[in-house]
Amino acid sequence: MVERVRAYRSGGAWLRFLVPAVLGLTADLTLKAWSFPEGVPESAMMGAGRTPAGFTPPDVIIPSVLRFTTTVNHGAVFGIGQGYVLWFLAFSLLALAIIVWVFVRSYQWQWLVHIALGLITAGALGNLWDRAVFHGVRDMLQFYASWYQYIFNLADVLLCIGVPLLMARWLFVQDDDTPVKPGFPVGSPVKNPSK
């Protein structure tokens, strides 16, 4: 039985959470700043960034797989809910509060949970920053796929890795919730002192 120390009391757990969060957020904001060197115009949607979607031919990143073309999404995922920036800001803040709560409730040995939460935090903060500063999310990556025409960013990638990782961890890994009995070695039967 592993000692049940909460993650917020473990330096290792904090490290597993903060490293992906800080590195992911830094990478996301750096790519966004490079992709939109002049910022985002007030009413920008398609015509912004280095190679605006619909205006400039996209640059190839990985032939037949991934291309670079910039746009600003004023909605949520897949462009849903254009213009509801304040709602998305509120939802992002709620999501961050839930992430902190899940981290605090987790245990030091649940390393996959901490990494997944770090990735989700990086993605949530990256898109939260964009919505707060630019009133829309800066996107620049697009697959060569006729069935998937959406343009996305690194924050979206981090979310699409972190969320399924966390869900898979909860669905397929059974935690032993048996409490440790004081004074008895792990695995030994607990004797009833009344007998």
What whole-number distance in Å separates Cα of residue 40 and Cα of residue 185? 62
Given the residues 28, 59, 130, 156, select the one marked as catalytic. Answer: 156
Given the residues 59, 130, 139, 175, select the one marked as catalytic. Answer: 139
Judged by DSSP in three states, 127 sits in helix
Whether residue 177 lies in the annotated active site: no
**Backbone angle region of 66, left / alpha / beta, with phi > 0 → left and psi within -120 to 50 → alpha:** beta
What whole-number distance in Å separates Cα of residue 121 and Cα of residue 155? 9
| DSSP bridge pairs for 73 | 137
| Cβ atoms of residues 115 and 15 within 8 Å | no
Whether residue 28 lies in the annotated active site: no
Judged by DSSP in three states, 163 sits in helix
- Show which residues are catalytic: 139, 156
